[in-house]
A and B are shown apart, each in its own frame.
Chain A
């Protein structure tokens, strides 16, 4: 599987960066000003412009290797959107994407940001979402939790023996928990889970990011930041060397699900 590489820092991009979401809508304005709008159902696109500065030889070589493997715009690769939440339905544990085992979910619970976007899980078991992404990338998993019962935790695993956990305290107060991965064995899978041994746990803001540390919560709906068939937008990759071991360039990537 071809994957856009992370830099040695564990991030995939530098600031500033630009992302764009695009649709195609036909808008027919009638003489009285009313509109008939029709969506092009086959078209949805996300684009990123990533200016990269002062990359080391190894960092640039990894990008160049990917570019050679994809032959520019020809082949696709997996792109984990920088800074985006990789989980889908990050605030809706009732969705089928979240595999529930031994627990029930209640929505509409007050959340730490003053809304009612939290969910309550009851019973002993787990709620988990599995992503087909390389386990050897750096990841930061995070979630807000509130419980008075001991034995609950955030658990990020590779589906095998590599595990990072954060135990929830039983103080009954909201707190954000985070784990960071730096695994060496690639299983091609990362599982984000919350496990509980009983009682109730309130959850809000599940987030998995392809970077070493958690950033602010970004809610996702049906699609997260995993883009399995992204493409370079150019057949040319320009390396601007500013000194020994100092490479710079701007990478443009597009993901158009209907065309892959």
Chain B
């Protein structure tokens, strides 16, 4: 019986929706059935739980169990759907309740202990005052009074969600819902009415540029590959999101995997590739799991496979798990990794579009780039190019994290001011502290300071101020962040991830790290250490430029950016570290000096017992003393002292 219903839904969607891609005036019966499949018209209550990685991290799994238990105890028949991430990580776990004939309504911070009281209220048609995120306009449903709409929430109001349209809203592993919301129509339209070169044209005219960081025009790249003659071409989706601080690709795949598959299918048709790969980080197990399910579903519906919908188009998709190497985000390194080799870059040209994976023409695009494609085919290139700035079209997804009130994923039109992102959308700096900088673009990117907060975000404007788009991670830093420490953090990352092929990158980044370590390290009085440090600092900038100019791949060429950028905007902090041996933000432990106020010390000996370095001497009931040469600056004594007798300088 169930099998029959499943087949009939499948047939309905394939015959009435997908094959009928150009006909938008649907009769009422079809509209009603689509509303059912979209989960808008429901017979029994539906409870959605945001179960992306961040939701699960915040305790969505426990919330889910509590909901199941509640429904069982109260004998309520309701469906539970594990949705992806809506983007507001700091409000997780997020739980939505959709009662028949009422608007769907969303609640934030629903930890397991809150489930019972919340559901009790909602099921008796009462909306509690706290924890409301907003209600969604739902097909033919009553609205909840005095509850704001979701798109009126300050975090969501300024956003333009095209790529993230379905994320957190739909059931990510239900192909029916995706199709009922207009999915795969663009793909079927593309292979039925457009020639492959037409698709390249549309994408080129739309102005879509690679969202992985480089910003190369996608349509042009596709044209290069389209023009190649070869028995086999490949298309690769780069989901090796290695930038620390970026998680948009993960969220898109977890929340709406079919959108990525559809974009890849259209791309493959446009360049004439039949075999495609998704190269995805092994650190994203949930994304991989959902992608596998989505691929199986698409196969069942004949959207992946041989002779799709009788058009003669073949499309095959394989998942390759990355093995944890940052450099594999670089396209030639990524291809080597798929081939089973060490992921080291090679010189370009030849470009992958002529000589790529296994020596064949290959196009590599980022997850977000593919996620944009179906919208462009559906709405046309003019629609897309009307959004954004003259040089950068469309929207961009950013991952907001660090010392900011609201963290998560946002999608905004290109050209939005960074100040608006931080202070309007994300609610300003955490704990009302003073803003210092926002780091954009990961280890290859740079810092944006107060002075540049009003630039309008696009590929060019960011480069002008010494940063870059990268994949779009925005890490916010406040007055309590030490920029020298941040530079040291990135250099530590990069020197570990340098593949070792080019000496300037392999050795240079290590030297940069050593210099930064000596600047932030414990002052030593012997060995001319101070002189060495000054010499090193004087040469640091020069070394940066050597690395930039003589490295082969993008990783090496951008490796010194964290140092150059912090040096440019925060030279005073470097100087404080070098000349005064002080860390203005109080982060660099080794530059802190602790001493004991003899008058306040009661000689309780707690600090000397806590000290891991045995640096505190003194006998019982006598004032103690810190031996500075032994002190490692850990602050254990400071935390242990009950008499506030320890000073930090």
- Asked if A and B bind, the verdict is no
User: Using a CB–CB distance below 8 Å, which chain A residues touch chain B?
Assistant: none
